[in-house]
Amino acid sequence: MQDFSFLIFLLLSMALCGSSNNVFNVMEFGAVGDGLRDDSQAFLKAWNAVCTASTTSATLTIQKKTFLLRPTIFTGPCKPPQIYIQVLGDLTAPKTKSVWYGSKSTDWLTFVYINGLIINGNGILDGQGSVWWSSQYYRKGEVDELRPIALSFSFCNNLHISGINVINSPSKHVKLFKCIGATLRNLQIKAPQDSPNTDGLVIAASSQVQVLHSYIGTGDDCIAILTGSSNINITRIACGPGHGISIGSLGNQGNYDTVEEIHVQDCSFTGTQNGIRIKTWQGGSGYARKITFQRITLNAVGNPIFIDQYYCPRLINCQNKTSAVKVSDVSYDGVQGTSTTKTAINLSCSQSIACTNIQLNRIHITSAGQAFETSSYCLNVRGTAGISVPIVACLVK
């Protein structure tokens, strides 16, 4: 970590001093930085210079101003094995939805096919999502796929993101898709609690991902881990408000979905709708396995421990089906704090395909100042429970 910090410091110093010919400042390519005039083309010109540089590394510097960017796609592959983006200033999305009509990208800032990308800085990326949230048409979820993601990475291997602030996305804030080897550290991701479907971080079809030392508070999942993902490590995340950290949803529309080797540790949840959750639809197939939750702190959290194999959020055509995603090898160890729901441990597994090897140890979840004792519920669950409050007597060995 010290070596990485020193490298960032060195590159930043070079950018500020203008002492290297592989440092490219967006201002030199026509950016204005007044937050009013569109700087998208200037950014793309600067990106082209960075991406085609005949050097072992190149740096794109965004200085301390406010830049208005329309939906923009930064594409690779690039010549330099490593590309640095120093985000010292702020980026803001347009405040009107009409800008997206006819755009090549449905998202705001998109990075595609770029290996060795390192993004660092303390700038703010403001997705200006409130114009999207206020529409009841969008709140119904009828056209969620048209709501822009603020920051999207696809097919970007060996990705590093550190220090930036991503706020007020119209939809998901940050998404990784088919990325191998990614480290996200010291991020701040924020949106109002009532902003619809504004997940903080979505990890899909990606592997070898680390998410470390970050704060995420939005109107949906702080982190959602979707199908095709494996070897994901989530450490020291402060989550809330939001819907907790979720694996899934999986198995929608009969899909075969898989996730494995997901490890969540030393995370805290404050005022979230859910805590640590696995959610699958009836009728799907595949598996969610080799999952651990360790040293989790809860502060007035609903549904603290939740396996929901009957996920059907809009309550439309929610029929029981015989096929299901297989949930197995899940460990909860050291989950402690307070719950706003009586059923603090809810393990609702498929009636036809049992959850197996579910292990609970050192669980202590009490009422969040309300007049009830917490309880547990199991449906078709096989596993073991050690010391636990509430008592989990419903597991079948």
How many other β-carbons are positioned within 10 Å of the β-carbon of residue 347?
A: 27
Does 263 qualify as catalytic in the annotation?
no
Catalytic residue among 39, 243, 257, 329: 243
Kindly list the distances between the CA atom of residue 391 and the CA atoms of 258, 327, 342, in Å, as whole numbers in the listed order: 31, 22, 13
Q: Are 344 and 307 in contact (CB under 8 A)?
A: no
How many Å apart are CA 7 and CA 306, to the nearest integer?
A: 42
- For residue 310, give the nearest of 347, 337, 276, 341 by alpha carbon: 347
Does 364 qualify as catalytic in the annotation?
no
Q: Which amino acid, residue 205? A: A
DSSP 3-state assignment of 55?
A: coil
Catalytic residue among 39, 90, 220, 308: 220
How many Å apart are CA 268 and CA 263, to the nearest integer?
A: 14
With a CB cutoff of 8 Å and minimum separation 6, the contacts of 283 are: 251, 253, 254, 319, 321, 323, 324
- For residue 112, give the nearest of 51, 32, 190 by alpha carbon: 51
DSSP conformation class of 206: -
Q: Which amino acid, residue 146? A: L
Q: Which amino acid, residue 254? A: G
Beta-bridge partner residues of 119: 85, 161
Burial class (CB in 10 A: 0-12, 13-18, 19+), 102: exposed
Q: Are 164 and 187 in contact (CB under 8 A)?
A: yes
Q: Are 318 and 348 in contact (CB under 8 A)?
A: no
Q: Which amino acid, residue 343? A: T
Q: Just list the catalytic residues.
A: 220, 243
